[in-house]
Amino acid sequence: MAENDIASMGHLMRRAGFGAQYHELEARAAKGYEETVEELLNPQDHPDGMDLDLAERYFIEWNHFIRGVPEYIAFRMINSARQLEEKIVLFWHGILCISDSKLQSYPTEYEELELFRHHGLGSFKDLLLGISKDPAMIYYLDNCLSHKGAINENYGRELLELFSLGVGMDGEFNYSEDDVKECARAFTGWTIANSIPQQPYGRYAAQFVYNPDDHDDGEKTFLGETGNLNGEDVIDIIVKQPATARFISRHLYNFFVADDVEVPSWMDTPPRDPETIKMLEDEYFRSDYNIKSMLRVLFNSDAFKNARFAKVKSPIETIIGTLRLVGDWTEPKPGLEFIFDEMKYMGQEILNPPSVEGWHTGKEWIDGGTLVHRINFTADSVCNTSFPGIQSIIEKLAAQAPILSPEGLVDGCLKLLGDYEMSEETRRMLVDQNSKGGEVQTDSEEFGAKVGETLRMIVATKEYLYA
């Protein structure tokens, strides 16, 4: 198999999933790139992506109690064989945002992630309908407080601004303040039963309820269409707008391909790669708003294949990717709570995005504080030679030759990390650092530690901040 097959596969798995160990990359590369894309889009094995039996018994609290949900989600991201399904959960979670700091009801929040898991690769129209009926969302953006004759515009506004059309496109506004109000009117009566705050129903998820008595039946005009519009009609109008195609395409591009400018700039700043966005927009309409079809086009495009290391990794990609690499948490055991703090310190606390805008991405993930946490976490993880994933790297390197040159050690580590590319200057510094001890015998006692130290410096590089 060609060397670049591993490189492409490492790239695909970092983007469509949370990265993979070298032996998995080899196995997938042997199957072929397009076949792997199909398998990620339509996974056949494991309806849940993994054997959930043990996990569910272990994270016994995940479903009903106040703790355990972030850990359970993390556990699934680490272990699911259906990696794209978990990745798309994270994608939508960052766009169709809800936040635990307001909801404080993990069972209800979890239901929303299940919605993304089941419909995140399907029709965007179904997803918008699902999110408009999602109890967590209805509570988070106060639609349960929006009544006939006394609207609360919070959901109506964010549905347009952040979930579908975006504020504007090509320098023009996509909707008016009146559209916001009319949109909010159309969703009156879409509410929930079981109030969300913990008492007295906190351990059960809230339910969607449509209350026809509280629905505003009057005539509305939304984006130029007039009638007795309800929420479904509004969504029908939204999904056929070119602005929605643009918005979803830019989000997919920014998440899966390469960092674009931040969302508030999209009205005035054209896409980084207009051709690829156009291709995605066309597929959006051709496939009746199907996300899976858009992703198939995307993953098989040259733009995607050529975008290796064109994105700054998100904190969750960093953490989950590191744990998958070192092979920790393949089975349930105590102590996974720490993962929640790491996400927070690195700037991406799951189920708690900073606002309904989600997280800012790209270089905005990195500041002095988050950078230090990111480097320290990855560095400490990869130099721990007791982890099975690191053991396997050590064994593979030892199997290469009895003696490794400083170059051989650095290049070998980079390859086994999924073909990471370093600038020539950085690679030279890594090699120089290793040169002090000269060549190293791979059967020596200190070889493992030496590999750990090399990996530690690799993950501390600028290049490793990218995926």
Partner 1 sequence: MTSSKKDPVLVVLQLSGAYDALNTIIPYNDPHYKDFRTVLKVEPEEVLAIDNNVGFHPSMAPIKNLYDQGKVAVIQGIGYPNPIRSHFRSMDIWHTAAPEKMGMDGWLGRAIGDMDPHKENVLTGVNFGRGLPRALATSGVSVASVGGLDQLGVLTGIEDQNQRTEALDIFARMYSPMIGSGVTNDYLSQTGLDALKGADILATAPAGYTSTVEYGGDQFSQWLKNVAQVHLAGLGSRVLYTGLNPGAFDTHANQTTAFPQLWGQVSDAVENFYQDLKEHDASQEVVILMFTEFGRRVQENGSGTDHGSGSVAFVVGDAVEGGLYGDYPSLELDKLDQGDLQWNNDFRNTYATLLEKWMGLDAKPILRGSYEQFDFIK
Q: Report the interface residues with partner 1, using CB under 8 A.
A: 99, 101, 141-142, 145-147, 150-154, 157, 161, 167, 177, 259, 263-265, 267-269, 312, 344-345, 347, 354-357, 360, 362-364, 366-373, 375-376, 379-380, 383, 423, 425-426, 429-430, 433, 456-457, 460-462, 465
Nearest CA to 238 out of 172, 171, 179, 170 is that of 179
Shortest Å distance, C-beta 289 to partner 1: 25
Nearest CA to 445 out of 392, 405, 396, 385 is that of 385
Select 24 or 357, whichever has its Cβ closest to partner 1.
Answer: 357
Select 14 or 296, whichever has its Cβ closest to partner 1.
Answer: 14
Select 20 or 184, whichever has its Cβ closest to partner 1.
Answer: 184
| CA separation for the pair 91, 116 (Å, rounded) | 9
CA-CA-CA-CA torsion sign (341, 346, 351, 356) = positive
Helix 274-286 to helix 291-299 angle (10° resolution) is 140
Select 151 or 238, whichever has its Cβ closest to partner 1.
Answer: 151
Shortest Å distance, C-beta 105 to partner 1: 15
Check: CB of residue 169 under 8 Å from CB of residue 266.
Answer: yes
C-alpha angle 244-245-246 in degrees, rounded to nearest 5: 90
Q: What is the DSSP letter of 225?
A: E
Shortest Å distance, C-beta 89 to partner 1: 22
Nearest CA to 232 out of 220, 242, 245, 247 is that of 220
| CA separation for the pair 59, 86 (Å, rounded) | 18
Select 83 or 318, whichever has its Cβ closest to partner 1.
Answer: 318
Beta-bridge partner residues of 123: 290
| CA separation for the pair 303, 308 (Å, rounded) | 10
Check: CB of residue 352 under 8 Å from CB of residue 100.
Answer: yes
Shortest Å distance, C-beta 2 to partner 1: 28
Select 242 or 264, whichever has its Cβ closest to partner 1.
Answer: 264
Select 28 or 250, whichever has its Cβ closest to partner 1.
Answer: 250
Query: CB neighbours (10 Å) of residue 217?
Result: 13
Shortest Å distance, C-beta 436 to partner 1: 9
Shortest Å distance, C-beta 376 to partner 1: 6
Shortest Å distance, C-beta 311 to partner 1: 10
